[in-house]
Amino acid sequence: MHSHRNGLKTAALLGLLTALILGVGYALGGSGGLVVAVLISLAMNAGSYFWSDKLALRSMRAKPVTEAEFPALYQMVRELSTSAGQPMPRLYVSPTMQPNAFATGRNPQHAAVAVTTGITQILDYRELRGVIGHELSHVYNRDILISSVAAGLAGIITMLSYFAWFLPIGGGDDDDGPNPAALLLMLILGPIAASVIQLAISRNREYAADASGATITRDPLALASALRKIHEGTQRLPLPADNRLTSTAHLMIDNPFKGGGLAGLFSTHPPMQERVRRLEQMAQNSGPVQFQR
């Protein structure tokens, strides 16, 4: 049921995206702007749906790995996906030393789970298993599709802002140019709107993935322990907030950038202390841990 609701949300988001792009394109460029907006909408919708996984993996320089290279990782992913009655995703490892992980892909049949070298070095078996359960929950709930579409929508809004500002597209049949004040406002609001879209979608999804991931593994305390270690690692080894990473940062289990200041207002991740608190409360309510290796 949850995945069906997420599918409907994704369709609604794509519809809103298309309507927004067409409306802005017509307002800024008349019929010519509308044609450009249609082409942009089609290209970006297709890219967000079909190729978001490749872009995310490339941004972290993640490479596919074999079972011989990472037998324990394959074992836990196979165990959890089989237990959930779902296909096993492709597995990738990023050479990044920051501890982090993410899932990407449009559905369980076309999904990938990636972990960094750093996370494999600081987590024990149970903790890494908890992280894998979290990422598989994103896959099964179609959260990664929504996040990918949100990233596409955010990128399109920002692109249109700069497109409208720098290109001399007309304002309509009267050949008047677009209002510079309106373009300046759009230039300012575009990146803010992009951040708000990711913020609204991603934060609740992390709480839900924590809970459902802990249910899959039957070990909420392992995920809570892993999140503490991961957060310490991301704060100690933050990644550079460049364009290559900012569009995929919301997919990761923890914010890969340095927190604090204004950046915290637009964070796509909920506070780590609250995530850990909820998992510990879940463990108290569920009784003894059922996991056995």
CA distance 2 to 208: 10
Instruction: Show the tokens assigned to 90.
Output: 């492709």
> Is residue 69 within a helix (H) or strand (E), and if so which, with residue range?
none
> Within a 13 Å sphere around the CA of 111, how many CA atoms are in the beta-carbon half?
25
Contacts (Cβ under 8 Å, ≥6 apart) of 38: 22, 25
Active site residue 135: yes
Beta-carbon count within 10 A of 285 CB: 8
CA distance 65 to 7: 30
CA distance 73 to 231: 21
CA distance 220 to 287: 11
Mode of pairing for the β-strands spanning 63-64 and 90-94: antiparallel
Annotated catalytic residue, options 69, 79, 135, 280: 135
CA distance 272 to 276: 6
Amino acid at position 20, single letter: L
- Quick one: DSSP state of residue 293? -
Positions marked active-site: 135
